Amino acid sequence: MLDFVINFKNFKKMNKYIYILFLFATFLLNAQDSSNKQKTSFKVFGNCEMCKMRIEKAALSLKGVKYANWSIPENQLTLIYNPNRIELLDVHDSVALSGHDTSLKEAPNDIYNELPLCCLYPREEKTKPRYK
């Protein structure tokens, strides 16, 4: 019986060490994950709060995007993302498919035309080169 009591006390000490080791491993993994994050920003066209919600939702719907904030006055989308999990061009594609032109990708006309009137921003007309 005495042998069981001694082993149980040792088990309690071991349990404490296992818990400390688990916490250390968790902190180590979090430190590695944060080193893979990059911050960037690019132009996304829009006008209002509804645009803001739509643009941020399109960016955050992608795995690998940790943070998205679109500034209305500057028309800048600021992202924190993991480049090992997602390519930046995928974010441009997702935002464009929500109806908003980005600095690299133009939204399809049919999706842009379905935006609410307050969200329709002036688009630059692309002119075809004239041949003589």
- Give domain status of residue 67, yes or no: yes
Q: Is position 19 within any domain? A: no
Within-domain flag for 4 = no
Q: Is 80 within the bounds of a domain?
A: yes
99 in a structural domain:
yes
Residue range of the domain that includes 53: 38-119
Residue 73, classified by CB atoms within 10 Å of its CB into exposed (0-12), middle (13-18) or buried (19+), is: exposed
Q: Is residue 18 part of a domain?
A: no
3, part of any domain: no
| Count of domains observed in the chain | 1
Question: For residue 113, what pLDDT is reported?
Answer: 95
Tens-level pLDDT at each residue, the chain (132 residues): 555 555 656 656 666 777 777 666 666 666 555 568 999 999 999 999 999 999 999 999 999 999 999 999 999 999 999 999 999 999 999 999 999 999 999 999 999 999 999 999 998 765 445 554
Residue 87 CA to residue 116 CA, distance in Å, equals: 29
Query: What is Dmax (Cα atoms) for the chain?
Result: 104
Supply the pLDDT for residue 127: 47
**Whole-number pLDDT of residue 14:** 67
CATH number of the domain bearing residue 60: 3.30.70.100
First to last CA, the chain: 104
Q: Is residue 17 part of a domain?
A: no
